Structure 1
Amino acid sequence: MTLEYVSCDYCGSDQATVVVRQTDKLHHTTDEYFTIVRCNVCGLHYTNPRPSPAEIARFYPSDYSFHGATPRWRELLSRLLDWCANGQVAWLIGLVPAVGRRLAARVRPRIPDPVLEYYRRGGQGAYLDIGCGSGRHAHYWGHASSVGSCQRFTQVAGVEASAAARELLAREGIDVWGDIDQVPLGRMFAVIRMNWSLEHVHSPSRYFRFIAERLLPGGRAVIAVPNYEGLIYRVAPDCVELPIHLYHFRACDIAAYADRFGLVVKAQHTFSYPEMFRAAGDAGLLPTAFADYGDIFWARAMMRSLKPFDDAGWGNDLLVVIERNGL
């Protein structure tokens, strides 16, 4: 395999310091080693050297993301289980140990989806999801916030690299393209979403430029990424998805990109959930006690203990709302 060496996407410097060197410890797609470097000029962290666009696909596990069609009954069951794990009945369900242990993985903080909130409050204008999968699931926010579901509010469209996922979207009459360069020049959007996809792209600046050019005046971009300043990356620096995560963002990095392209950060929030620590324990990146954290009560207690870190900006995931000013 041939790896490509790159300069910093933000400032162009080729002077960087190695901060992490590891193989794929989470998905086990390769035994090869990769490095994360920190730009000596602007501080951006990125994978270097890295697989080229032609090579990167082979490092994704077959079940990595939401590219397939999900039966409606599975979607409903998943929503029910999430409600059981995070609702007021959780304490009762937790009294059944086997059920409580299975639902523990679904315990997570309630983070309102800015996209769904915008349209529910009467927001107008077309919606584009970059990295939308099959359009049936919006990652953390599930089916209700997906491209397919948001058709009830507005005209929707997607950008998705998976040909199989694009075919499913096309069957539902949703405009979808394989790359942002294929989006017709005349198409403008009130909302653009990137759910845990910006860290996978080979040039973040290309996507910020697209957002700046395609947002309507007053439009917003909703970006969610792993937070490289998060608690888990502080206690377990190896807990990164190499080599498929090409960039490792902090809040200041997103703000710097936004400012460069004339965009304004309107809101940001970090958050964590217990399942990520369990997965790190399973992978041997944290003590095995995290892999065996037990039942739903333990998971909810852990989530409460994580909240001060979330509030301090140390949550493991980062949600940023960016707006385009203008008349």
Structure 2
Amino acid sequence: MIDSVRLEDLPCPLGCRENDKMIMSGSDLLHGLPGEFTIVKCCTCGLMRTNPRPTPEGIGVYYPDDYGPYVGTLVPQSTQNQSSIIKKLLKRVVRQIFKFNTNTLPQLSSGRLLEVGCASGIFLHQMVGQGWQVEGVEFSAKAAMSAAELGYRVHAGPLETAPEPSEPFDLIVGWMVLEHLHDPINCLKKLREWAKPDAWLVLSVPNSGSFDFRLFKEKLYSLHLPNHLYHFTPQTIEKVLEASGWTLSKVHHQRVLSNIIASTGYVLHDKGFTNLGKRMIEFPAHAGKWHFVLYPLSWLLSAFGQTGRMTIWARKRI
């Protein structure tokens, strides 16, 4: 099936003249599926993209049912009941001390929320607990069903086929999803039409402008070929937002070291340190308390924009 996946060769989505430079080639490190994929950089605007890439009809084979974000966003049965007041207070204190800048949101009262790429629904579940009315869009039918079984309205399919909502949204979020979209500009335009005039757009994406992109190259954990179709820097994501009718408000560099540790794991694994490499590769899924232990270093690297992941806030341009 993989061998029959059709590839497409498309120009820069910002409309630049054909002026691409090859940056690197790599393969699917997450699942070990076959295929070699190339990243090119538009020499006019600087936007990097995977090209050629699997078509929208064929990309699904690179998203098996055990794909990490689908499994990792399942809501545990024990958490589906309301948390105790003590647990809520403890979580609030921890959030005040350790600001990881991962799912960082503007200060908003509750309203209508759309999550693009909601996976199995854990973020929707959390936001309902804070008084939000939520809806989701999810490419995976199985993951979307898990979210829908919690009682949330979720469109199963790509954002391009999602129907117009009954009411506009106050907040639209997408956690590590924009880089997966075949047509990010038209998708962002669609989201703009669904947003209230004062709405916020919050997205997290890998930062290909950080040192780990240059250091690890094809072994970079967040490269995630061929699922990641675009490879943003703070400068290029601002251009994409502007072309889509949004204005970049703020860039939060995430205070986690998942990219660096997992990428080091890939390098060690290839050098024969199989067990150590495997444990480091699995770090993002099982980091737990280590995020707190490593916080001083991640805080320092984030101050220089070098942790490899960023969360951006944008406003609808009127």
Using the size of structure 1 for normalisation, the TM-score is 0.76
> Is the partner of 1:27 in helix, strand or coil?
coil
Specify the alignment match of 1:130 in structure 2: 116
Cα drift, residue 182 of structure 1: 2.2
Measure the CA separation in 2 of the matches of 1:173 and 1:297. Answer: 31
Measure the CA separation in 1 of the matches of 2:290 and 2:103. Answer: 26
Please list, as runs of the form range in 1=range in 2, the aligned pairs for 1:18-29 lying within 5 A after superposition.
18-29=22-33
Q: CA RMSD in A?
A: 3.3
Specify the alignment match of 1:72 in structure 2: 77
Specify the alignment match of 1:13 in structure 2: 17
Q: Is 1:196 paired with 2:176?
A: yes
Amino acid at match of 2:301: F
Q: 1:318 aligns with which of 306, 310, 316?
A: 310
Unaligned runs of 5+ in 2: 82-86
* Contact 2:39–2:51 under 8 Å retained in 1: yes
Specify the alignment match of 1:172 in structure 2: 150
* Contact 2:69–2:119 under 8 Å retained in 1: yes
Measure the CA separation in 2 of the matches of 1:283 and 1:251. Answer: 26
Measure the CA separation in 2 of the matches of 1:159 and 1:285. Answer: 37
| Residue-pair matches, total | 287
The 1:272–1:27 alpha-carbon spacing in structure 2 relative to 1, beyond 3 Å, is farther
Structure 1 residues 61-112: Cα deviation after superposition (integer angstroms, max 9, x where no partner): 5422343544334899xxx9xx99x97xxxxxxxxxxxxxxxxxxxx96337
Q: 2:250 aligns with which of 267, 279, 284?
A: 267
The 1:172–1:314 alpha-carbon spacing in structure 2 relative to 1, beyond 3 Å, is same
Measure the CA separation in 2 of the matches of 1:225 and 1:205. Answer: 15
Q: Is 1:60 paired with 2:58?
A: no
Cα drift, residue 188 of structure 1: 1.0
* Contact 1:125–1:154 under 8 Å retained in 2: yes
Specify the alignment match of 1:143 in structure 2: none
* Contact 1:230–1:315 under 8 Å retained in 2: yes
Please list, as runs of the form range in 1=range in 2, the aligned pairs for 1:167-246 lying within 5 A after superposition.
167-177=145-155, 178-180=157-159, 181-184=161-164, 186-238=166-218, 239=220, 240-246=223-229
> Is the partner of 1:283 in helix, strand or coil?
helix
The 1:109–1:283 alpha-carbon spacing in structure 2 relative to 1, beyond 3 Å, is farther
Measure the CA separation in 2 of the matches of 1:275 and 1:207. Answer: 28
Specify the alignment match of 2:44 in structure 1: 41
Amino acid at match of 2:202: V
- Structure 1 stretch displaced more, 4-13 or 220-229: 4-13
Amino acid at match of 1:114: T
Specify the alignment match of 1:249 in structure 2: 232
Specify the alignment match of 1:111 in structure 2: 101
Cα drift, residue 236 of structure 1: 0.7
Structure 1 residues 152-174: Cα deviation after superposition (integer angstroms, max 9, x where no partner): 31211000011112223333332
Specify the alignment match of 1:304 in structure 2: 296
Q: Is 1:161 paired with 2:139?
A: yes
Amino acid at match of 2:136: G
Specify the alignment match of 1:149 in structure 2: 126
Cα drift, residue 20 of structure 1: 0.6
Structure 1 residues 116-135: Cα deviation after superposition (integer angstroms, max 9, x where no partner): x534xxx2431000000111
Measure the CA separation in 2 of the matches of 1:302 and 1:188. Answer: 40
* Contact 1:65–1:133 under 8 Å retained in 2: no
Cα drift, residue 25 of structure 1: 2.9
> Is the partner of 1:217 in helix, strand or coil?
strand
Unaligned runs of 5+ in 1: 88-107, 137-145
Measure the CA separation in 1 of the matches of 2:291 and 2:196. Answer: 42
Cα drift, residue 147 of structure 1: 0.6
* Contact 1:130–1:197 under 8 Å retained in 2: yes
The 1:74–1:282 alpha-carbon spacing in structure 2 relative to 1, beyond 3 Å, is farther
Specify the alignment match of 2:84 in structure 1: none
- Structure 1 stretch displaced more, 203-212 or 221-230: 203-212
Amino acid at match of 2:198: G
The 1:301–1:73 alpha-carbon spacing in structure 2 relative to 1, beyond 3 Å, is closer
